[in-house]
Structure 1
Amino acid sequence: MTGSVFLIITSAALSFLIIMLFSINMIIMTKFGKSMTFQDKIELFSVPLAADNYRSPNYEKIKQYKETEKILNMTVYHQKEESELLPIIESSLTEAKRINDRLFEKNEDREINLILHNSKEDLKTYTSLVDTLGYYDDTNAVIGIAVKDYKRILTRWDAAYAYFHSTIMHEYTHYRLQTYIKANNLYVYRIPLWFHEGVSEYVGMKGLTYPYYSFEQVPLKKLASHEQWETYRTGAYDIYAQSYFAINYLVEQYGEDIIPKIIRYTAQANDFNQGFKKATGLSVNELDALYMESKRRPLD
C-alpha cells in the first residue's frame, strides 16, 4: 500500500532512513469482501517521490498536542478523538508481534514512537511523502500511520479497516526484520529491497489474498536497491506484488523458517546471493523462473 515501499537512502546527505508502506495493484480481500481497482492504487498507494525530495520530519512538532498511550513497546501519539482506534491498534500490533516472534528470535523490544497522522495529507505535510499510508523511520525509531476514513476503520470490517490493520502489520514487520538483520551483524542494505518488501507484505497480508494477474515481471536482481526500485515502480510493473509472490513461494516450498535462515546464511557468507543459494538450493535467477510460474497455473 503504501501500504509500504522500503527505501534505503544511501546518500550521505540524507540521514532519513524510511520505509513506506507497500503498494498493491488488485487485492481481493477475502475477509472483507472488497476489491482494489487500479485506480484505487493510483489514488491511495502510489509510491512517494524520489529520495532526493524527502526531508527529515520534525517529530517533536508532529507529536505536539497529541495524547499518548503505551501499547507493547510503542508509545502511540494520537488526537483525543482517535482514542477509539487504540483497541484496534493494540490488536494489530499484538498479531504482528505474534507472527514476527514466530519468524524471528524474540528480542528485547526497542522503544518505538507510533504516530497517528489524521490524514494522508497531514502525513505528507510533515514528511513530504505523497499518497502514503505509513512509514518506518529506523534512524529515529518512529512508525507513522495515516488514519483514512476513521469511522469505517472502527467497523473492523470495511476495507478501510483492512488497510489500517495491514499498514500497522507491515510497518511493525519492517522494524522486526531490520532488528533481526542487525542482530546477525549485517548492514540492513546487504539484504535486497525485494526481500524486505516481500517479508513485510507476507505478514501484512495475513488474512488477505493476492490474486495472480498479468503484469510485466522484473528480474529480482534488478530490485535490490532503492534506485532500482524507483526505476520499475510505475507503468506495467507491480514490483510489490512480485516481492510478495517471491516470499510466499519460498514459504510454501520450505516453510516460514526459510526467511530467517536466508538472513543467517547471508551473514555467514557476507553475501546475499551465496546465503540465499545455501538456504534454498536456488539462485535468485532460478527463483524468478519459479514463483511467477506457480501463479500462472490453474487452480486445482
Structure 2
Amino acid sequence: MRVVKYIFFTLIGLIITAILLVGVFLLSSKLWGTIVLILGLIGLFTAFIFALVNFIKSQSKLYNWNGLIKLSLKSLYLIITGTLLVVLWIFNFAIIDEYGEFTPLDKMNVVLGKTDINEKAIQQLIKDYPELKSQNITFKYPPNSEDQVHEMISKMGDIEQLELEIFGYQIPKTKNIEVIILPNYEEYIQARTSAGEREGGSYTRMDNRAIIYEQPKDVNGEEPSLSGILSHEYGHYLMDMFLVDKGIKFDDVPTWYHEGVSEYIGNQVGEELKSAGNISPDLTVVNLQSSQDWKNATKQSESDVYYFAGKAIEYVLGSVDDSIILSDIVLNIKEFGTFDESFKQLTGIDPKTLNIESINSWEKDLDVAYKLWHEDDFKKAEENYKKILKKHPREPLAWHQYALLLVKQKRWEEALIARRKIISIEPENPYSYMDLSYLLTVIDSQEAVNSAEKALEIVKKDNIEDWGFSQKWLDDVSHYHELKNEKKYTEAYQFISQSEQLSNFPEIIGALSQIKN
C-alpha cells in the first residue's frame, strides 16, 4: 500500500513540476532560460546527493526495502525533471534563435503547430508562381503581376530612407522576408483563415512572411496601393528585426505602436491620402495594448484602429519633430520601466490622453489662425501659426497657410523657408513644388523653372490626369525666364502677369512689376 502511495505522489509531483517548468520557459528569454536550466540542474543534483546521504544514514538493516523504493522514486523524479529541463531549454532556445523573442502564446503556437496561416493552401495557391529576389526579399506572385512587383521594388529606396530616419541605422536583416502576392481576397482568406473583411495584408513573425493581395479595399471602400500595403507589412518586419537586434521582447511594445509605425511607413510610401473611418472618441492608445485589445476595439466600437494608430504616430512626430524618437521610445523601455512611461518621458505626451480628439486638436487652432488672417489681423494670425507649428512642425497644411500669410505681407525670404519646409515634409507632392515655383519667380527665375520641372515630373510619374496644368505653368515660367535672360524685363512681366496660374497671387504679380534685373 505504501508503494502505491509513493508512486501516486511521485506522479503528481512530476505533473505539477512539468506544468511549472513549461510556464517558466514560456516566459523566459534565452538568458533567463539558460539561468533556469543551470540553477535547476544544480538544484536537482544537490537534491539527489541529499536523498542518497539520507538513504545511507537510515540503513538499520542490510536491506531497507522501504527506503530503497523511496530513493528509486526520488531518483526517477529527479532524472525525469532534469530531462524535461534540458528538453524545454532546447525548445525555448531553438524557437527564440529561429524566430526571435516571442510572446508565450506565440511559443505555444509554434510548439503545437497552431497558426491562422494555412500552409497547405498557400503552397497549393503559389505552386506555379514565379519568384523574384531583390536584396533580402523574395517575391512570389501571379505571372501577370510582374509590373506591380517591379513597382514595389522601386519603392524600396523610400522605405530604406524611412528606416534610417526612424531607427537611425540600417537594421541587420538576420532573416530574409518572403512576400506572397495573391490575385484576390478569396484566395487570401484561404491562406489566412482569420482574415478580417477589410484586411489588406498580413505579416507573420514565425516565418518572416508577408501575404498581400491585389485590389484590396479599406474600411471606407477605398483602394490603397499595393506598394503602401507592402510598406506597412515591411514596417512590421523592420520592427521585428530591430527588436531582435536590440534584444527587446516583442510584447514589451504595445500593439498600437507596432501597427502605428507600420501604418506611418505605409502612408509615407503609398502616398495616397487616407480618410478616417469611424473612431470612438473614448478610444485611447492605452486601450490598444494587446492584439486582443486591437480586435476588440475593431469589433465593439467599430473603430478604424489602423488610421487612429497611424495618426497617433504622426502626432508624436509633429510634437517632437524628430523621427528617431520612435526608436528611442522603444530603446528606453528598460530605463523607464514600461513602454508607457518611456513614451511619456520622451514625448511629453500622456498615452492615457492620446485620443482622436487630442490628435486633431490642431485643426481647430488652424481654423482660428486662418480666420484672424482673413480679418487682416496679421500679427495675431502669425502668433497662432507659430504656436501650431511649434507643436506640429510636420503639418504641411499649417506650413502652407503660414507661407500664404507671409506672401500676403511680401516677406519673400521667410515665405521661401516655409515653402522649402513643406517640400521636406512632402517630397513627392507636385503641388508643393508648384507653389514653390510661383514664389521663386520673385526670387530666382531659374530655380522657379527647376521647381516647375520637378512638379511635372511627379505628376507624370503618378499618372495624374490633369498634368496639362503643370505643363502650362512650366511653359510660362520657362518663357518668362528666357525673356529675363534677354533683359526684356517689361515684356517678361507683361507675359507672366497674364499667366492663369499666378492669377491667385496678386502680391507676387505686384512684386514682379518692380523687377528691373
**Cα 1:295–1:120 shift into 2, 3 Å:** farther
Offset, 1:163: 2.4
Q: Say whether the 8 Å CA contact 1:273–1:284 is kept in structure 2.
A: yes
- Find the aligned partners of 2:226 and 2:315 in 1 and give their Cα distance: 25
**Percent of residue pairs bearing the same amino acid type:** 17
Q: Give the counterpart letter for 1:123 in structure 2.
A: Y
**Cα 1:141–1:220 shift into 2, 3 Å:** same
Tell me what 2:238 maps to. 176
1:72 aligns with 2:128: no
Q: Say whether the 8 Å CA contact 2:118–2:190 is kept in structure 1.
A: no
Match of 1:122 among 187, 196, 215: 187
Superposition pairs of residues 119-198 of structure 1, within 5 angstroms = 119-128=184-193, 129-131=195-197, 132-148=199-215, 160=223, 162-198=224-260
Note the aligned Cα RMSD (angstroms): 2.7
SS of 2:225's equivalent in the other structure is helix
Matched pairs, number:
248
- Find the aligned partners of 2:330 and 2:125 in 1 and give their Cα distance: 35
Match of 2:265 among 191, 196, 203: 203
Tell me what 2:105 maps to. 10
- Find the aligned partners of 1:56 and 1:9 in 2 and give their Cα distance: 21
Offset, 1:237: 2.3
**Cα 1:213–1:164 shift into 2, 3 Å:** closer
Offset, 1:53: 8.6
1:249 aligns with 2:315: yes
TM-score, normalised to structure 2's length? 0.44
Match of 1:290 among 339, 358, 371: 358
| Range with greater deviation from structure 2 (170-179 or 83-92) | 83-92
**Cα 1:130–1:121 shift into 2, 3 Å:** farther
- Find the aligned partners of 2:295 and 2:262 in 1 and give their Cα distance: 18
Q: Say whether the 8 Å CA contact 2:277–2:304 is kept in structure 1.
A: no
| Range with greater deviation from structure 2 (75-84 or 279-288) | 279-288
Tell me what 1:281 maps to. 348
Greater strand share, structure number: 1
Gaps of 5+ in 2: 1-102, 217-221, 371-517
Q: Give the counterpart letter for 1:238 in structure 2.
A: D
Q: Say whether the 8 Å CA contact 1:92–1:168 is kept in structure 2.
A: no
Q: Say whether the 8 Å CA contact 1:9–1:15 is kept in structure 2.
A: no
Superposition pairs of residues 17-96 of structure 1, within 5 angstroms = 54-58=116-120, 59-96=122-159
Q: Say whether the 8 Å CA contact 1:216–1:237 is kept in structure 2.
A: yes
- Find the aligned partners of 2:150 and 2:287 in 1 and give their Cα distance: 40
- Find the aligned partners of 2:366 and 2:110 in 1 and give their Cα distance: 46
Q: Say whether the 8 Å CA contact 1:212–1:296 is kept in structure 2.
A: no
- Find the aligned partners of 2:248 and 2:337 in 1 and give their Cα distance: 8
Q: Give the counterpart letter for 1:194 in structure 2.
A: W
SS of 2:258's equivalent in the other structure is helix
Q: Say whether the 8 Å CA contact 1:212–1:295 is kept in structure 2.
A: no
- Structure number with greater CO (CA < 8 Å, separation at least 6) is 1
| Range with greater deviation from structure 2 (127-136 or 198-207) | 127-136
Cα distance per residue 1:35-68 (max 9 Å; x no partner): xxxxxxxxxxxxxxxxx99244335444422111
**Cα 1:79–1:260 shift into 2, 3 Å:** same
Tell me what 2:91 maps to. none
